[in-house]
Structure 1
Amino acid sequence: MNVKIVENEQELQEAYQVRKEVFVEEQKVPLEEEIDQFEDEATHFVLYKDNEPSGAGRFRIVDGYGKVERICVKENARKTGAGKEIMHAIESFAIEKGVPALKLHAQTHAIPFYERIGYEVISEEFLDAGIPHRTMKKQI
């Protein structure tokens, strides 16, 4: 497994393909909500497992925080450490950029995953795309 910062259109389309499979097809998030107005300002990441795009995520700096977004792993790569690999790559990138802390909106079922890698819940539950979420934060 390896995680790459997206550098060209093909890699970007591979990241979008993973996101569409996980969020749009599996979780029924409308495509117009999944691919949004922040794509061009974000740094995108794609995880390859056996040379196949199998995970993705993106990162933006918002109000002085690193905002971790759109973390997803295709079904056949789950429970392999792929999510941790994506998060590690994003956190390393954020450290290089001098960001002091990260925030993310975690689907409630994913909170234990994020807690295991050092994030803490800092909000009440809210809906995003009809899915329950909570905001989480980590000092880096």
Structure 2
Amino acid sequence: MHRVETAAAFREALAVRFAVFVDEQGVPASIEVDDHESAATHFLARTDGRAVGTARYRTADSGAAKIERVAVRADARGERWGARLMDAVETDARETGHERAVLHAQTRAADFYARRGYERVGDVFEEAGIPHVEMERSLDE
């Protein structure tokens, strides 16, 4: 797991996101890349030289770390890449002074985040045509 530091690594992260969100889940390609790319800290998971997962976070208006675009390629799921990405993102966010993390979880992934200590905040809403729920947790160790 490492922070994305180069344009080439960023392209690999985008390729994972497009494979998962656009190709697999039908999110419009026109909204997958947004105005927050340059402000976000991106992470990339690789195995055997192949990019298999990605995630990013940025500082939300509230000051919390807003975790976004957590994605693992279908053929790499079940190998703990999502957990390892979240470990890296949460550690980095904590080390850069964030006390809380927030995210918009797809409802089908909410249990994954709940096992990591995230709690639901509010009702289900639609984002990119997919049901989501806002979740948050403290980043205190």
Q: Same fold (TM over 0.5)?
A: yes
Instruction: Give the Cα–Cα distance (whole angstroms) in 2 for the partners of residues 67 and 84 of structure 1.
Output: 16
C-alpha deviation, 1:37, in angstroms: 1.0
SS of alignment partner, residue 125 of structure 1: strand
> 2:41 aligned with 1:43, yes or no?
yes
**Partner in structure 1 of residue 102 of structure 2:** 103
| Residues 44-90 of structure 1 deviation map (CA, whole Å, 9 limit, x = unaligned) | 11111222100001110012110000000001110110000000000
- Give the corresponding residue for 2:52: 54
TM-score (normalised: structure 2) = 0.96
How many residue pairs align between the two structures? 138
Confirm whether residue 94 of structure 1 aligns to residue 93 of structure 2: yes
Supply the distance in 2 between the matched residues of 1:37 and 1:120 (Cα, whole angstroms): 27
Does the aligned pair in 2 maintain the 1:49–1:77 contact within 8 Å? no
Which residue matches 2:11?
Answer: 13
Match for residue 29 of structure 1?
A: 27
Moved more, 81-90 or 47-56: 47-56
TM-score when normalising by structure 1: 0.97
2:26 partner amino acid: K
Structure 1 window deviating more from structure 2 (41-50 vs 13-22): it is 41-50
* C-alpha distance in 2 between matches for 1:44 and 1:32: 20
Offset at 1:30?
0.6
> Which ranges of structure 2 fall in alignment gaps of 5 or more residues?
none
What amino acid maps onto 2:56 in structure 1?
A: R
Equivalent-residue separation in structure 2 for 1:82 and 1:134 (angstroms):
22
Aligned AA for 2:43? Answer: F
C-alpha distance in structure 1 between counterparts of 2:7 and 2:13, whole Å: 10
Q: Root-mean-square deviation (CA), in Å?
A: 0.6
d(CA) in 1 for partners of 2:99, 2:50: 33
Question: Percent of pairs identical after alignment?
Answer: 42
Q: Distance in 1 between matches of 2:30 and 2:138?
A: 32
Alpha-carbon separation, structure 2, partners of 1:123 and 1:87: 22
